């Protein structure tokens, strides 16, 4: 199952590299943890972006295994069918890259939860080859999938122009921590554009549509859930050869899949009675997002103005890993 060859020939990589995937190549918790993938996960993503590692282990090895699941909320039964996989890029027996994806059988969407490569391994096009290798494997695992959707952090284009313009005028000036964070968000989007992703946008303004994610911790008091919400943009990469889906329908399907089918149902299923309030909260938040965009014409597009800005940033030759 692991696709090693395309990675081994990249620019003279000496150590063999391979992609392994949970439940096909790694089927038990000890072997999964033994790869060091959870330590890499903690290294690559800040705490507010990470799932609980025990939850991640449970999802990829025992809970989200492609079987229909049922949960009863307020006396009404609802179902969901998820298949979560963690792809691990290994050098020897240690993880140097990871990708965490969830396939929703109802919508046939694949959600990219997280993807990353160790900072010391990001040269030579390895991250790009790793990602493409994972997508090939996903298409084999889920031949009826229609594509991959992901959330990206929003950035401020006006702020970015100011940051880059200031460095063009004074290249010796150091970049502050907040500025670096904003640039990294922008550079990640540039990488996703390179992979073929496009934003779900307002067709009139071409501005990416904002999607508000529910709090990830239903155990918090309900009064604190709003504090845990985050606004994201959604990007989409269709599967090669898949039927073209209307962008408005894709937006609705993506929002409901990510925040209800994958997030809320999985969390509520752990305690359907105790987390009933969380379910109503998440459902109301999704309904509000869709209501606010109901009258918009939606299309897939690149964020206008970012290509020129990316070229200007590259000319500065500032080393800022994403």
In CATH, what number is assigned to the domain containing residue 30?
3.40.630
**Predicted pLDDT of residue 1:** 44
- For the whole model, what pTM was predicted? 0.91
Q: 116 and 206: one domain?
A: no
Q: Reply yes or no on whether the pLDDT at 201 is more than 60.
A: yes
Give per-residue pLDDT as tens, 263-310.
999 999 999 999 999 999 999 999 999 999 999 999 999 988 888 999
Q: 222 and 131: one domain?
A: no
Phi, psi of 204 (to 5 degrees): -80, -45
Find the Cα–Cα–Cα–Cα dihedral 218, 209, 239, 119, rounded to 10°.
Answer: -70
Asked whether 3 and 20 are in contact (CB, 8 A), the reply is no
Of 96, 120, 145, the residue that ends a domain is: 145
Q: 136 and 152: one domain?
A: no
| Residue range(s) defining the domain that contains residue 309 | 147-322
Q: Reply yes or no on whether the pLDDT at 161 is more than 90.
A: yes
Q: 106 and 192: one domain?
A: no
**Predicted pLDDT of residue 86:** 97
What span, in angstroms and rounded, lies between the C-alpha atoms of 95 and 98? 7
**Predicted pLDDT of residue 124:** 65
Q: 156 and 299: one domain?
A: yes
Q: 99 and 212: one domain?
A: no
Q: Residue 49: which of 184, 197, 199 has the closest Cα?
A: 184
Q: Among 9-23, 85-99, 238-252, where is mean pLDDT lowest? A: 9-23
Number of domains in the chain: 2
Asked whether 53 and 41 are in contact (CB, 8 A), the reply is yes
Q: 160 and 52: one domain?
A: no
Q: 156 and 294: one domain?
A: yes
What span, in angstroms and rounded, lies between the C-alpha atoms of 297 and 207? 12
Q: 129 and 155: one domain?
A: no
Q: Residue 218: which of 16, 42, 33, 51 has the closest Cα?
A: 51
Of 99, 129, 145, the residue that ends a domain is: 145
Question: Does residue 93 or residue 254 have the better pLDDT?
Answer: 254
**Predicted pLDDT of residue 15:** 58
Instruction: Calculate mean pLDDT across residues 163-191.
Output: 91
Give per-residue pLDDT as tens, 10-58.
334 455 788 999 999 999 999 999 999 999 999 998 887 788 899 899 9
**Contacting residues for 258 by C-beta, under 8 A, at least 6 apart:** 111, 149, 151, 211, 213, 234
């Amino acid at each position: 199952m692991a696709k090693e060859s395309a990675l081994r020939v990249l620019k003279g990589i000496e150590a063999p590299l391979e992609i392994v995937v949970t439940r096909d190549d790694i089927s038990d918790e000890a072997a999964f943890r033994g790869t060091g993938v959870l330590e890499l996960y903690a290294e690559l993503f800040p705490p507010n972006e990470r799932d609980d590692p025990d939850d991640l282990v449970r999802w990829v090895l025992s809970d989200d295994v492609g079987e229909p699941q049922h949960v009863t909320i307020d006396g009404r039964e609802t179902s969901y069918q998820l298949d979560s996989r963690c792809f691990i890029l290994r050098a020897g027996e240690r993880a140097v890259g990871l990708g965490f994806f969830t396939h929703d059988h109802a919508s046939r969407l694949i959600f990219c939860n997280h993807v990353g490569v160790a900072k010391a391994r990001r040269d030579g096009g390895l991250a790009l080859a790793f990602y493409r290798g994972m997508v090939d494997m996903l298409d084999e695992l889920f031949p009826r999938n229609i594509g991959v959707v992901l959330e990206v952090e929003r950035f401020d284009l006006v702020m970015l122009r100011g940051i880059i313009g200031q460095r063009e005028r004074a290249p010796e000036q150091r970049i502050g921590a907040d500025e670096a964070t904003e640039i990294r968000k922008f550079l990640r989007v540039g990488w996703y554009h390179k992979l073929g992703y496009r934003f779900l946008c307002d067709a009139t303004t071409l501005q990416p549509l904002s999607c508000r994610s529910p709090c990830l911790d239903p155990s918090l008091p309900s009064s604190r859930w709003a504090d845990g919400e985050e606004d994201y943009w959604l990007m989409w990469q269709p599967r090669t050869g898949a039927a073209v889906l209307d962008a408005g329908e894709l937006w609705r399907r993506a929002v409901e899949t990510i925040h209800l089918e994958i997030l809320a149902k999985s969390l509520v299923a752990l305690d359907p009675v105790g987390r009933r309030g969380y379910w109503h909260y998440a459902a109301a938040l999704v309904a509000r997002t869709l209501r606010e965009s109901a009258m918009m014409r939606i299309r897939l597009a690149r964020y206008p103005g970012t290509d020129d800005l990316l070229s200007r940033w590259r000319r500065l030759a500032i080393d800022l890993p994403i």
